[in-house]
Structure 1
Amino acid sequence: MAERGYSIFDTGIGRCAIAWSPAGIIGVQLPEMREIDTRRRLYQLYPDARELAPPANTQAAIDGITALSRGMVCDFADVALDMTGIPTFNQRVYAYVRTIPRGETRTYAEVAAGVRASGATRSVAQAIARNPFMIIVPCHRVLEAGNYADKISAFGGAISKRRLLSIEGTSRMPGKTLFDVLLPVAPPRPHP
């Protein structure tokens, strides 16, 4: 098997990790609460990867993730991804999600329609939840029905979709706020 590598790097949201193969990026890990937890998660996902100096494709991804985390515009169009072992449907979803412009969002249903699988909203949600290419495949731009921006994929670390959308300057971030969660509106009481 060809050698896989990984690197830990600083960003405006904490210490991120990235793993690669000779074919391209195999995974991005957003920061956990502690760097040791980020490293542990990366090791669980890619136990055969060794810490190495990143090749050009990976360095371009690192530079882009670092720029985005600081609120700058970046483009990942030329960053190669290694999709080995990723189901074909998920690949279609990731290709579509990569086309969502910065500052815009889509719902799972809109992504399903975009990949010509209108009835596959749940499958889109599952693909997004399994996205190993955080930021490069901007799954934070895909929201639940009702436009809630609360969840992020299993590779998301401690960063929320809402925070990533805020960094990108998304003007309208629908969904529940902390105020909504802590002080929900009580349902109207029935009249006696």
Structure 2
Amino acid sequence: MRITLFDTELGAFGIGWTDAGIARLQLPGLDEAALLTRLARDGAVAGQPGAAVADVIAQVKAYAAGKVVDFSPVALDLGGVAAFHRRAYALLLQTGWGETTTYGALARQLGDVGLSRAVGQAMGANPIPLIIPCHRVLACNGKPGGFSAPGGAEAKLRMLALEGVAAGAHPGQLAFGFQDLERG
């Protein structure tokens, strides 16, 4: 795997890729040394992005600048990722910009609402956050729930705000222009 760092309006990101596609994305919030340490695990080495990876970097920069970006066509390398997690990520990739879903809704789509915790674990283990938009998965009450990236739930809220989503709104309400009922 090859890796590189790049700056955006949100801060420094890190990206890792193989010939098959994007394998890692590290969100901002760490200093450069910590960012490189997280990316370079498992023998990853610094590399120069080719055209496809450079395009993904440009898309991430556009996202960080507040532009609507659809990452669903990005080639991903999920080798070594558990089958259940890959299934959860495949469903999540259908949740577009400014949309949210819940852990329970994904669990139901995977066959059993009892899988909600397993969905949460899959989101926490997501090696490619933002591109696999785990920040769009909310708790059943519309609250942000957890987020394993640097900055935790606050980072998740900032990402959602970039997309025009107010956490606390019930999932799906924003698509119809409803306000968060708790905030009026």
* TM-score, length of structure 1 as denominator length: 0.81
Contact in 1 for aligned 2:16/2:22 (Cα 8 Å): yes
Other-structure match for 1:36 = 33
Specify the code of the residue in structure 1 equivalent to 2:139: E
Which consecutive unaligned segments of at least 5 residues does structure 2 have?
Answer: 170-184
Q: Percent identity?
A: 35
Aligned pairs for 1:25-104 (under 5 A) are 25-43=22-40, 46-104=41-99
Q: CA deviation at 1:97?
A: 0.7
Other-structure match for 1:18 = 15
Specify the code of the residue in structure 2 equivalent to 1:107: T
1:128 to 2:123 alignment: yes
Contact in 1 for aligned 2:70/2:96 (Cα 8 Å): no
Specify the code of the residue in structure 2 equivalent to 1:147: G
Specify the code of the residue in structure 2 equivalent to 1:113: R
What secondary structure is seen at the aligned counterpart in 1 of 2:114? coil
Question: Residue by residue, what CA displacement relative to the aligned partner does 1:105-149 show, whole Å, maximum 9, x if unpaired?
Answer: 111001111233332111101101100111100000001232221
Contact in 2 for aligned 1:16/1:31 (Cα 8 Å): yes
How many residues were matched structurally? 167
Q: CA separation of 1:8/1:112 partners in 2, compared to 1, >3 Å: closer, same or farther? A: same
Question: Residue by residue, what CA displacement relative to the aligned partner does 1:15-56 show, whole Å, maximum 9, x if unpaired?
Answer: 00000111111110012342222112222xx34121111123
What is the aligned-residue RMSD (CA, Å)?
1.6
Other-structure match for 1:179 = none
Other-structure match for 1:148 = 143
Structure 1 residue ranges, 4+ long, deviating more than 3 angstroms after superposition: none
Other-structure match for 1:181 = none
Structure-1 separation of matches of 2:93 and 2:4: 23
Q: CA deviation at 1:150?
A: 5.0
Contact in 2 for aligned 1:60/1:79 (Cα 8 Å): no
Choose 109-118 or 80-89, whichever is displaced more: 109-118
What secondary structure is seen at the aligned counterpart in 1 of 2:12? strand
Which consecutive unaligned segments of at least 5 residues does structure 1 have?
Answer: 176-192
